Amino acid sequence: MTVSYRQPGVVLTDRRFTVPLDHADPAGETIELYAREVVAGDKAHQEQPWLVYLQGGPGFGANRFVGKGAWLGRALKEFRVLLLDQRGTGHSTPANRQTLPLRGGPAEQADYLTHFRGDSIVRDCELIRREVTGGAPWTVLGQSFGGFCTVNYLATAPEGLTAAVITGGLPSLDAHADDVYRAAFPRIERKVAAHYARYPQDVERARRIADHLLANDVVLPNGYRFTAEAFQSLGILLGGSEGSHRLHYLLEHAFVRTPQGAALSDAFQEEAQNLLSYAGHPLYALVHEAIYGQDDRPTDWSAERVRAEFPQFDAAKTLAGDGPLLFTGESIHPWMFDCDPALRPLRETAELLAARTDWTPLYDSARLAANEVPVAAAVYHDDMYVDTAHSLATARAVRGLRTWVTDEFEHDGVRAGGPRVLDRLLALTRDEA
């Protein structure tokens, strides 16, 4: 049963779909997908073309907007929008520490999770498109990992697309995860330097916090083991438009005086655990490196191995001198499965995924070179999460793809820029800009 309801200026409808777990076995096990249909209130009874939104991640459900926030208001001027909770996320059939044991042991869980990459998400879209649009093609908007999925869409099912719009999500077509992280750590270092240039008082604050964590065993209220490495990982904030400011405000109230001396404040610990916990999006940790798997090479905890090539990120070595502590960014490490209570039961499953060597290719370069779907992509010139050089190489490999390279936004430009980013990219797909 579908349920419709109203928010300011929009009508929302809950939609549910049943799809195969493994699209190569359509008669086999099924899972459920959830999506939220959104239409402008004054157009609720009008026929309109469709736009499907693919959220970044992996592992996050679609944005929960109130009314016409961010880019949604621009989209609703001409589209009905489908906000899809990709498989395993949001209100779709969940995949987490509570549900994965239903599959069996770690080996069975790892096998199950191989079906949660972009290729499966695209085939989900094609099944539900026929139900939603009656078979008509639709426009796709892919943010970050959603853009990775969109490139797979262009390579595998372009007949389903009227146009494609990508924001901060043009992947390398052939890079191994090691290549991705070797490009990432220098970008992260630049972002940290920019943060300290803006907030020089944070240099000493960050060193003091890391020193405290190296000298003490700290467990956050939710059971998270708060180590110096975990503290450094809060640098993931620096990839967003407000991230540097958020990190600064977090650091400024880290310590409080107690009868036993200085201690990490309850307020700081509460905010830190909310930022660090993967309880709400465990797939992000489980399959993050798997989204780069395309050949017989294992990902093998790529970010952890590559980080060792950049000794300036070692907290203990930094604190032995007088340099600034470097934060890290969008990377997953094996210690996270020891620190985070939401991930601890899944450590062996993660190890099996990291060792896997039978990943299927995600991008067909020949089909992309022959692309006929109008496609435009926003490329952020020093995006912390997606390498600009990799993105531009892919842009050149996709026939007809138009880029908008800008330093006005960080990785979350489609949110922070309101309607402007989507408006510009739609115009590019139509040769209007």
Q: Which of 303, 332, 355 is the last residue of a domain?
A: 355
Q: Which of 334, 355, 376 is the last residue of a domain?
A: 355
For 51, 62, 141, 143, the CA distances from 84, given in Å and listed in that order, are 11, 6, 11, 12
**Residues 170, 181: one domain?**
no
**Residues 64, 10: one domain?**
yes
**Residues 188, 309: one domain?**
yes
- The pLDDT of residue 295 is 84
**Residues 89, 206: one domain?**
no
**Residues 161, 181: one domain?**
no
- The pLDDT of residue 1 is 63
Q: How far apart are CA 372 and CA 357, in angstroms?
A: 33
Q: What burial letters (b/e) apply to 246-259, b meaning 16+ CB within 10 Å?
A: bbbebbeebbeeee
Cβ-proximal residues to 258 (8 Å cutoff; 6+ apart), any chain? none
**Residues 123, 251: one domain?**
no
Cα of 269 vs its chain's centroid, Å: 24
Strand pairing category for 30-40 and 10-20 = antiparallel
Q: Which of 355, 374, 406 is the last residue of a domain?
A: 355
For 60, 72, 86, the CA distances from 83, given in Å and listed in that order, are 12, 10, 9
**Residues 381, 349: one domain?**
no
Q: How far apart are CA 38 and CA 383, in angstroms?
A: 30
Report the predicted TM-score, pTM, of the whole model to 2 decimal places: 0.97
Which residues are identified as catalytic? 144, 358, 411
The neighbour count for residue 130, using CB atoms within 10 Å, is 11
Q: How far apart are CA 154 and CA 398, in angstroms?
A: 9
- The pLDDT of residue 3 is 84
**Residues 287, 401: one domain?**
no
Range of the domain at 220: 177-355
**Residues 159, 243: one domain?**
no
**Residues 216, 350: one domain?**
yes
**Residues 197, 128: one domain?**
no
Instruction: Tell me whether residue 319 is exposed, middle or buried, using C-beta atoms within 10 angstroms of its C-beta: 0 to 12, 13 to 18, 19 or more.
Output: middle
Q: How many domains is the chain built from? A: 2
**Residues 142, 249: one domain?**
no
Residues 220/230, Cβ–Cβ less than 8 Å: no
Which CATH number covers residue 70? Answer: 3.40.50.1820
Residues of the chain falling short of pLDDT 70: 1
Residues 37/81, Cβ–Cβ less than 8 Å: yes
